[in-house]
Amino acid sequence: MAQCRLPSFVFEYLEGGAEDEVTLRRNRAVFEDLAFVPTTLVKAGAVDTTRTIFDQPAKLPLMIAPMGFCGLFSHRGDVSLARAASAAGIPFIQSTVSNASIEDIAAVPGLRHWMQLYVFRSRPFMERLVARALAANCEALVITTDASVFGNREWDRRNYRRATEPTFRNKVDVLLHPRWMRDVVLRGIPAFQNLLEVLPPDQQTLAASATWSRREVDPDLDWERVSWLRSLWPRKLVLKGLLAPVDVKQALGIGVDGVVLSNHGGRQLDGAISPMTVLPEIASRFGGDMTILIDSGFRRGTDIVKAIALGADGVLLGRPVLYGLAAGGEAGVRKAIDTLGEEFARALALLGRPSIAQLDPTCLYRADANRMAQYEKAERLV
């Protein structure tokens, strides 16, 4: 439904990965390598899907991941995502480059509001942005660590003549999507609202602000800078984009409360390992000391079960909720979350583990580890 509604260049932005998209495919293949080992004759009439994350209960072990350009998929897309998250009883992580301000999202009733941070070169601006998140009563600050250099997303060069101006072919394709034009183009796509104070007056359109933000993200982001941000933020601090156990250990050492194991959904370093592959080791070593979250490649409730069984405390949803947003706005996001929640609960029952607390690695069997290599070889031959 999302693909039918969106112009091709917008859908490719949603769906695409970096370079040859090896990581994008690997993120999905890893779930096929994990098979369930169900037990039967277990009372499963009452399934408990609640999970405590940072001392507060969530109805599902889920949260909406930080994503930029949500206004491309539906008018006021960020607000729709936040409202759906509030209705589902799960946290919403707002992106620095969202098309809504921190204050707009903070006004959503009953929302567990987290704020994601891209670290820009200007420290004074970072201080002001963190102060705004504090004033908005954001529960957690999530620092993205794996995007200080922008990934090589080659579909950009296919779809745009320069910067963010679509090719002639894509402009024609826009005309074939009148519903999207009415909802998004004619109503206007706002720029990155949280950056307006530092954007030059002539760069406050969406296209110009996107170009500016890519240029101003600090490529020298390091542990000293994270420690500095830790000193500014008195609440829960999460680092997103970690895959190496040595980085998780370092994060714990400087007082980070949680990590998101992530390869940015296959959109940054092509050929990177799947977070699901490193999850068991990191969860066993650090799970008792910090909150372990994960994203990249999740599409089904059964995928979420597998992550929780291997030690994750929660899963960040990206593309699945954007499909819903593009297909039906806030109602579409609610449908996507409800569908995943139903799949998750059903899988717990069928697995013979009707409570999240009963999930552990014994309910999984790892299939042939060479399957992914064989898959990639076959694809190259094709």
pLDDT at 379 over 60: no
264 catalytically annotated: yes
What tokens appear for 352 in the block?
Answer: 């013979």
Q: What is the pLDDT of residues 279-299, one digit of tens each?
A: 999 999 999 999 999 999 999
CA–CA dist 86, 115 (Å, integer): 15
Q: What is the pTM of this model?
A: 0.92
Q: What is the pLDDT of residues 158-192, one digit of tens each?
A: 877 766 678 888 888 888 999 999 999 999 888 88
- Which of 75, 113, 177, 264 is an active site residue? 264
17: left (phi over 0), alpha (psi -120 to 50) or beta: beta
Q: What is the pLDDT of residue 199?
A: 85
Reported as type and span, the H/E element at residue 291 is strand 291-294
Q: What is the pLDDT of residues 288-343, one digit of tens each?
A: 999 999 999 999 999 999 999 999 999 999 999 999 999 999 999 999 999 999 99
Domains recognised in the chain with CATH numbers: 2-381 (3.20.20.70)
Q: Measured between alpha carbons, how far is residue 211 from residues 115, 134, 189, 197, 371 in Å?
A: 22, 27, 15, 16, 40
Other beta carbons less than 10 A from residue 146's beta carbon: 20
Q: What is the pLDDT of residue 160?
A: 75
pLDDT at 370 over 70: no
Q: What is the pLDDT of residues 132-146, one digit of tens each?
A: 999 999 999 999 999
Q: Measured between alpha carbons, how far is residue 69 from residues 11, 83, 187, 308 in Å?
A: 12, 17, 15, 29
